[in-house]
Amino acid sequence: MDIKRTLNSKMPARLVNMLFKIGFRANRNTVIAHGLGHHSEQEIYDFGKADIKALSDFLGDKDYFFGKEPHLLDCVAFAHLTQFLYIPFGGFKEWMETETPNLIALLDRIKSKYWSDWDQICTTLEMNTHLPKKELTPEEEEKIKKEEQKKEDEKKKKEEKKKQQEEKKKEREEKKKKDKEEKERKKKEKEEKEKAEKEKREKEKAEKEEKEKAEKEAKEKEAKEKAEAEKSGEAAKSEEKPTESTPETKESATEEAAKGTADESADKKE
């Protein structure tokens, strides 16, 4: 709750809040110290009914509390009891009609004796209905009518001005709402666009990585096949060498045979 705005104060908000808290605590302590703060709403109503019942018992069958004429207590009782009867709350009116009819009769007697024009006062809100009305001249009546018409025109102008202000306020709120919606829409579109671009980049990156991986695997496979082919070729060559009879191999074999024969002849001579 905005305490400063509620109290229509010109003091700083912090000071107003601090003073309000201090006052609230003081009043709360006062209520608790008085005793009513410890009771529920129904219990407080019951206390009031008990007091009213005590007045009813004291009045009994008498016209007024002290006999045939009203005194101060009658005036005080009238001032308080009329609030329960004519401004009813908490079921007091129905309760008084049932439990304390003699008090209602007391209120009617005082009202009839001192406020015979009670209903007229409550209707017109004019306290001096018993005074004679002043006769107005046609000029005065015309003047009063003009003043009333002027007041009515001013009232209409104020209402029209207020209506225009409300319409302008409504237009500003609608514009503000539309701007907010437009801003949110653009923000959403931007987020969706960024999301789509991000997904596109991620997709292209994944495709690129997949392509590079495939190319790498193809190169590795090609290199492996080439290495295996070279290895197979070398193995085939090594298998073919012992079976071949080239002039060089024949010559070396002849030399070895001659050398072996010479060695054998030398051994025999020895």
pLDDT one-digit tens code per residue, 71-125: 999 999 999 998 888 887 788 889 998 999 999 999 999 988 888 878 777 777 6
Q: How many CB atoms lie within 10 A of CB 124?
A: 10
- What pLDDT sits at residue 253? 53
pLDDT one-digit tens code per residue, 39-51: 778 888 888 889 9
- What pLDDT sits at residue 75? 92
Give the contacts of 39 (CB within 8 A, at least 6 positions apart): 47
- What pLDDT sits at residue 258? 60
Supply the DSSP string of 17-53, one letter for each residue: HHHHHHHHHHHHHHHHHHSGGGS-HHHHHHHHHHHHH
Q: How many CB atoms lie within 10 A of CB 90?
A: 14
Kindly report the CATH number that applies to the domain delimited by 39-124: 1.20.1050.10
With a cut of 70, list the residues of the chain below it in pLDDT. Answer: 1-9, 28-37, 125, 127-134, 136, 240-270
Structure tokens at 175: 């514009």
